[in-house]
Amino acid sequence: MTRTSLTLIRHGETDWNRAKRIQGHTDIPLSEEGVRQAGQLGARIAHDVATHGSVFDRVLSSDLMRAAQTAEPVARACGLTVECTERLRERSYGVFETLVVDEIKAQHAEAYAHWQSRDPDFVIPGGESLTGFYTRVTAYADFLVRHYQGLRVALVAHGGVLDCFYRLATNLALSEPRTYPLLNASVNRLEFDGTSWHVRSWGDVSHLAAGGRDESNDRSDGAAHGQSFAPLATPADRVDPRVV
């Protein structure tokens, strides 16, 4: 049975992450800390290549700057080029983008309340519903296993994209709260066995000097969207029973 290996990587930190400002499709570069994180990630991959030989066959990325900048050191360490696509962009947050949560509450009170209800079919004005976003990401997952079958793929994207892949692999409903980390510059390993996706390890930030920042820390609405988590740092060759 042909297996496809997928290493999901969340982009490094941005200034808007730290300010808890909604990014979505807004094209924000990495902060100085994010550039450092990307460099540490690249150094880890370079070490793996030097120790074990080739580790990835392709490096894919969202076309948004924060993801592409994170992908570059990974691709460089492997002697590859980054293949960017808009299909891996974060969820579009429409009128919420550029705002912090207090501003969303004040300017879009009704939409904010609906957003907090975790209704997967709620369409943020000017943006995407969670269902629509999930459909976009899982359609790309189907494309990936058709076109990159049997390959080792690194995919650099966003917290929301990683969340969709995790839910796909674990059959976790969109209406269910998140109980797993989505850390900046983290390494998260999935495998497709020809029939279904499986989580092999999750939340590894052992290469970062100061750990990682969880996606929920980018907002102050943690009750509905998750909370701060410690990294799991699971070795790549061991299945963590907490996440499978």
Catalytic residue among 32, 47, 86, 90: 90
The secondary structure of 169-188 as a DSSP string is HHT--TTSPP-S--BTT-EE
Annotated binding site: 10-17, 66, 90-93
Catalytic residue among 11, 108, 207, 225: 11
d(CA 171, CA 156): 22
The secondary structure of 185-227 as a DSSP string is T-EEEEEE-SS-EEEEEEEE-TT-TT---BGGGGSS-HHHH--
> What is the enclosing helix (H) or strand (E) of 68?
helix 65-78
Annotated binding site for substrate: 10-17, 66, 90-93
Active site residue 114: no
Active site residue 108: no
Beta carbons of 113 and 105 less than 8 angstroms apart: no
Q: Which residue has the tokens 């494309």?
A: 143
> Which structure tokens are listed for 239?
């299945």
Q: Which residues are catalytic?
A: 11, 90
